[in-house]
Amino acid sequence: MKVIQTIGNKALWRREKTLFLTSHLAPIACYGKVFQWVESFDKSECAVCFNTSELEEEVLKALLVCKVPTTLVVTERFSDTYNVQIKQALKEKRLLILVLQREENDGKGYIARLRNQWAIGQVQHIVCGYINPNGSIYGLLAGRNNITYIVDRKALKAAEKEPKPYRWTVAEDKRLLRMFYEDMGIHAIHKAINRPYSTIYRRIKALTMNDEVLKGRQFEDYVVSFFDLPHNEKLTLKEWRGDKTLAGVFPENNSGPDLVLEYDGHPFAIECKWRNHMPEDIEKELLPSDRQNYFQQYIKEHKMPIYLLLGIGGLPSEPDSLHFVPLSETISIDSLLGNNINTADDILKQLLPPQQKTNYILEQRALYANAYRPWSTEDDKQLAQLYNDGKTVTELMALFQRNHGGIRSRLRKLGLL
């Protein structure tokens, strides 16, 4: 991994640094111990954290609210530009944001693991919340002696004890929502309202959105940031439909696809879906037949193509892989697996009209003689051999006379990326 962007106070990176690590599915019973560590943090040092899991997000908020000097590490891009606490911390020079990108010589492995590995090598101390003994973090920490475990696994057997539940008052709900939308985090709300973390967590979910809707919205946020709209003059976001419902009542315009965009004057729509794993049954697990029929009718009426953008694995805010297929065709598992994408350009090229697409291919072949030509079995063998021998993507581009996306997509198809 390499740092491609720094935002905020770079001097924080010269301080003694402590990295907070936790597995994704941390039980809420461990939150109390974790927040005790936040409140006792030595402010002459610097805390280092991520924000991809629920506990990591809450730890980041608690660090910022407690005014702890913090470095936030993200991958590819920083998108949470409207976070109230982040904006204040940047203004007060107590936050540094490092944006990482995968290097060509990083080899195989998920981005999250490479990010964790990079951060572990940059800090003097590591503090762990809940660590799943079967997870990837557990293996990365093996043999290290600079680790402190702040959550006793035995203690987690006894869940957080709650008093007999009593009704939330309107005043409590107002205070909770105000603090929630000010990005104060669950710990600050707990201190203000004096209710258990699990109770607050459930109340936030009840007052905002259910878990499935929340995951869907997180993935939509990721998709919008993936297109990097501010830096693409030809691409415009025309519509973004929210999932607003009340007691089973759905507004009619919610039936349409999630996003409507326009690329170089050509409108198109995207239906966004995220799943933990690749579905085995399209109709049961992804798009019911009546939904597919609706999209077919929508395409005819609006004279606009609709595409499915499916995120698989990881988190809704950071999926492991993306798959892009037109909904004008019959969707199958094979079509999803065969349409893996890595960049927004991989999508936008598919949207060009036939003549423009032909011109684009000719332009690419003027630069790379074999661009968009079929790969032979011998090519595949040679590519795999050279890549395993340590050749970089840039070197492979020159050897095979293919562009960057062509080399990377073939390496993925061969299971090497």
Confidence of residue 19 (pLDDT cuts 50, 70, 90): very high
Global pTM exceeds 0.85: no
Residue 387: predicted pLDDT? 85
Q: Please name the residues in contact with 217: beta carbons below 8 A apart, sequence gap of 6 or more.
A: 209, 242, 243
CA-wise closest residue to 285 among 220, 236, 336: 336
| For residue 251, pLDDT beyond 50 | no
Q: Are residues 174 and 308 in the same domain?
A: no
Q: Are residues 152 and 12 in the same domain?
A: yes
Q: Are residues 90 and 118 in the same domain?
A: yes
Which of 332, 351, 370 terminates a domain? The answer is 351
Mean pLDDT of 22-47: 90
Q: Are residues 36 and 156 in the same domain?
A: yes
- Asked if 222 and 309 count as a contact pair (C-beta separation under 8 A), the reply is no
Q: Are residues 67 and 122 in the same domain?
A: yes
Residue 6's SS3 state is strand
CATH code (residue 66): 3.40.50.450
Domain that holds residue 184: 163-208
- Asked if 261 and 223 count as a contact pair (C-beta separation under 8 A), the reply is no
Which is more confidently placed, 194 or 246? 194
The CA distance from 81 to 126, in Å, is 27
Residue 6: predicted pLDDT? 94
Residue labelled with tokens 């036939």: 354
Q: Are residues 201 and 237 in the same domain?
A: no
CATH code (residue 195): 1.10.10
Q: Are residues 377 and 283 in the same domain?
A: no
Residue 245: predicted pLDDT? 46
Residue 46: predicted pLDDT? 97
Which is more confidently placed, 261 or 231? 261
Helix (H) or strand (E) holding 412: helix 404-413
List helix spans (H) across 98-210: 111-120, 136-140, 170-181, 186-193, 197-207
CATH code (residue 235): 3.40.1350.10
The CA distance from 100 to 3, in Å, is 5
| For residue 248, pLDDT beyond 50 | no
Paired tokens of 58: 């809450």
Q: How far is CA 31 from CA 40, 61, 136, 154, 317, in A?
A: 14, 13, 21, 15, 22
**Domains: count for the chain:** 4
